[in-house]
Amino acid sequence: MAVNQTQNAPIVCGISIRWISLFVLVIQNSALALAMCYSRTLDGPVYLSSTAVMLAEAVKLAISFTIYLYQRIFSTANKTQTLPSSGSSQTPRPTLYEMFDEVYGCNSGMVKMLVPAILYTVQNNLQFVAASNLDAATFQVTYQSKILTTAILAVALLRQRIGPQKWFALIVLTAGVSIAQLPSSSDPGSPGNRLVGFAAVASACVLSGLAGVYFEKILKSHDASLWLRNIQLGTASFVIASLGALCWDHKAIKTHGFFYGYSTVTGITILIQAAGGLVVALVINYTDNILKGFATSISIILSTVASVSIFHYKIRHVFVFGAGLVLWATYLYGMAKPPQVVDTLDSEGKGKVNDEKYSDAERRSSAEKFLIQV
């Protein structure tokens, strides 16, 4: 599956994979916020978040490997069988060495994937910290400020142009997130330190935006399989997560064991988080980070409604107002038209609009300096 910005998305059961991936992302984000908060508030010993992140990366890597091997081996075999038995050269099945070199070779782009791997690994650990100190609804809403950081980083690093309506949407988004964070004496007690939770969310949002912009550029500017990139990202993330678990929780793992505090809910949380990494890659590949943000914002509603029955969360008026502003801002940002850029002059000397061509050329030239040369 070659990656290309102009590539038509596959159709599954008559529905574009763009919309399928966005829908799955909504469900996954809602389920992850609820599962993480629930798993961290259960009675009994609390599991180590570093080991959970490590296992999530291992699951994601195993799934990516399976799909990649199927594409490279079985799809090649099917193509070979359709060729005439004589008078035509057959496509040889790739060897293990060739596939290994394609994934991890010097020209595979593996080194570039280390950057988002580090960012995503730290971000995942910060999510667990935030989930341990915030209730599910507050965590989900405040985490949507990653839309703001993603847009700012896209402008700063990729020189994307954002019109007045989109900037207004970002201001509304910031206001909505701030209002949703307002404390109230009538709120149920948070699982931990709210200040630590908000600091973890803020850091995770910045890292999420930077990793998303970087990963989107790599996916859409290189002719490589989506699952190959997921293998590279998963390999780097697994190694980094393993080192992090050994460095931060070595004593705890040695004393209590790797699976200390694990339960069925913990396993479900790990599977949901692993699935999220794969779904995000699909969404970024076939849409972009902005639509991904819109999809995750919709999950606010689902997780908040579910929090009422699961965590007995009392929804306040200010929270509803802040969440409404977040959703409205996301809608405004997604529906705003891109700014028109004068690219050439017509016969009368007037500006001729060619925004798509101009934006792509400008984005590629600026991104090459920062992203491709990393």
Q: Which helix (H) or strand (E) holds 273?
A: helix 264-286
Reported confidence tier of residue 33, pLDDT bands at 50, 70, 90? confident
The token pair that represents 344 in the structure block: 């050439």
pLDDT at 264 exceeding the cut of 70: yes
Supply the pLDDT for residue 92: 67
SS3 45: coil
pLDDT digits (tens, 9 = 90+) for 202-259: 899 899 888 888 887 887 777 778 888 889 888 988 998 898 888 888 999 999 999 9
pLDDT at 44 exceeding the cut of 50: yes
Side chain identity at residue 104, one-letter code: Y
Q: Which of 23-32, 119-128, 210-219 has the highest mean pLDDT?
A: 23-32
Which residue in 147, 168, 272 sits closest to 213, CA to CA?
147
pLDDT digits (tens, 9 = 90+) for 2-21: 334 434 667 777 787 878 88
Q: Which helix (H) or strand (E) holds 15?
A: strand 15-16
Reported confidence tier of residue 267, pLDDT bands at 50, 70, 90? very high
Query: In sequence order, which ranges of 222-263 are alpha helices (DSSP H)?
Result: 226-256
pLDDT digits (tens, 9 = 90+) for 93-115: 777 788 888 888 888 888 888 88
Query: What integer is the mean pLDDT of 164-174?
Result: 81
Reported confidence tier of residue 118, pLDDT bands at 50, 70, 90? confident
SS3 353: strand
Supply the pLDDT for residue 259: 92
Torsional sign, CA 279, 285, 289, 291: negative
Reported confidence tier of residue 359, pLDDT bands at 50, 70, 90? very low
Burial of 82 (0-12, 13-18, 19+ CB in 10 A): exposed
- Beta-bridged to residue 353, according to DSSP, are 342
Q: Which residue has the higher pLDDT, 119 or 289?
A: 119
Which of these ranges, 147-156, 164-173, 192-201, 353-362, has the smallest mean pLDDT? 353-362
pLDDT digits (tens, 9 = 90+) for 270-304: 999 999 888 888 887 777 777 777 777 777 667 77
- For a pLDDT cut of 70, what percent of the chain falls above it? 75
- For a pLDDT cut of 90, what percent of the chain falls above it? 9
Supply the pLDDT for residue 63: 93
Reported confidence tier of residue 84, pLDDT bands at 50, 70, 90? low
Which residues have C-beta within 8 Å of that of residue 119, sequence separation ≥ 6?
Answer: 207, 208, 210, 211, 214
Supply the pLDDT for residue 191: 57
Supply the pLDDT for residue 253: 92
SS3 85: coil
Supply the pLDDT for residue 269: 92
- Count of C-beta atoms within a 10 Å radius of residue 213: 27
Supply the pLDDT for residue 91: 57
Supply the pLDDT for residue 262: 92
Q: Which of 68-82, 104-118, 171-185 has the highest mean pLDDT?
A: 104-118
Query: What does the alpha-carbon distance between residue 212 and residue 208 come to, in Å, rounded to a whole number?
Result: 6
Supply the pLDDT for residue 156: 80
Supply the pLDDT for residue 182: 65
The token pair that represents 197 in the structure block: 């939770």
